Amino acid sequence: LRGTKVARGIPYGPDSLTRVYAITSGKGGVGKSTVTANLAVALAERGLKVGVIDADVHGFSIPGLFGLAADDGTAPKPTKVGDMMLPPVAYGVKVISIGMFLDVPEGQRAASQAVAWRGPMLHRTIAQFLTDVYFGDLDVLLLDLPPGTGDVAISVGQLLPNAEVVVVTTPQPAAADVAERSGVVARQTGQSVIGVVENMAGLPQPGGGVLELFGSGGGEEVAKRLSESQEHPVELLASIPLSLALREGGDAGRPVVIADPADPAAVAISALAERI
Ligand code: ADP
């Protein structure tokens, strides 16, 4: 990707029929990538044409979640056709990730290859994913943004002003504060925050009751606060419970919405796919 100029215009402008969702979070580890991957598969299961851009350039986990990563963490390189790249397809979803472009030396793991890029390089990479990857006609494009309020979020705001932003948070009040900030950045770059997804909510216990490992109410709180700063209400779109099956599915590269559709987390994500 290095050094190439972006020649084509950026697609997904105001006349595009593709719905573009940028999935963001205030901090890492809240399940943003897991939610993105499962949501993409749930949408594809409904017959929609879905693409995912893994824009989490430093913490790319999308290839693994889609079962596209080998044991050493490397992901297949997209096929080149002319000057376009054909993205690999997994579970009916077209997937592109920076993890597919790393040159990993023989015998090393992909995780040992850091992507230490500055803002302009990141910007060019995201622009190139948009212009040089052949997604065809998509109904939905999901972007897995890096956590926080950094360069990539700002680039996506500039490149895809029509993208709608979904903020993922855990139910903890402290997480709500940082999640709110990522929503505020989206607003500053002119994007619309459409909703909040609360992840890692209460885990139903075998003997009855619910274990609220990460507290409760964070998703509702972020939605309420962001509603105050948007021109439209920001809804709590889903509350996804803690789930062993979801975590195991992520580790195995088999999204829980396919591996165990009756699992409560899978049910919550499928309902989210109906809603957006
Ligand atoms: P992020 O993209 O926000 O950094 P990940 O999607 O990588 O977060 O998730 C972080 C870890 O938490 C992963 O191991 C994932 O399997 C696990 N995880 C995410 N959501 C849940 C959940 N609802 N229940 C159990 N584990 C989860």
Domain ranges within the chain, ordered by starting residue:
19-275
Mutate to test the pocket of ligand 1, among 144, 247, 251 (most ligand atoms within 8 A of CB): 247
Angstrom distances, CA of residue 46 to CA of 34, 62, 166, 246, 275: 19, 20, 20, 20, 12
CA-to-CA distance for 186 and 160, rounded, in angstroms? 11
Domain spanning 19-275, CATH class:
alpha beta
Using a 6 Å cutoff on CB, does residue 219 contact ligand 1? no
The average confidence (pLDDT) of the chain is 90
Beta strands per DSSP E along the chain: 19-25, 50-54, 79-81, 84-86, 89-90, 93-97, 140-144, 164-169, 192-201, 203-204, 210-211, 235-241
ipTM surpasses 0.90? yes
- pLDDT tens per residue, range 227-250: 987 778 999 999 999 999 999 999
Using a 6 Å cutoff on CB, does residue 32 contact ligand 1? yes
Using a 6 Å cutoff on CB, does residue 97 contact ligand 1? no
- 257 — pLDDT class (breaks 50, 70, 90): very high
CA-to-CA distance for 127 and 251, rounded, in angstroms? 29
Tell me if 207 is assigned to a ligand binding site: no
Using a 6 Å cutoff on CB, does residue 27 contact ligand 1? no
Residue listed under structure tokens 């948070």: 169
- pLDDT tens per residue, range 120-152: 778 899 999 999 999 999 999 999 998 887 788
Q: Of 14-23, 170-179, 258-267, which range is least confident?
A: 170-179
- pLDDT tens per residue, range 180-230: 888 888 888 888 899 999 999 999 888 999 999 999 999 999 999 999 877
For residue 7, pLDDT beyond 70? no
Q: Is 23 helix (H, G, I), strand (E, B) or coil?
A: strand
- 154 — pLDDT class (breaks 50, 70, 90): confident
- 46 — pLDDT class (breaks 50, 70, 90): very high
CA nearest 200: which of 276, 264, 274?
A: 264
Angstrom distances, CA of residue 58 to CA of 97, 199, 260, 266: 11, 22, 30, 27
Query: For atom 6 of ligand 1, which residue has the closest CA?
Result: 31
CA-to-CA distance for 156 and 172, rounded, in angstroms? 27
Q: Are strands 164-169 and 140-144 parallel, antiparallel or unpaired?
A: unpaired
CA-to-CA distance for 155 and 247, rounded, in angstroms? 30
For residue 73, pLDDT beyond 80? no
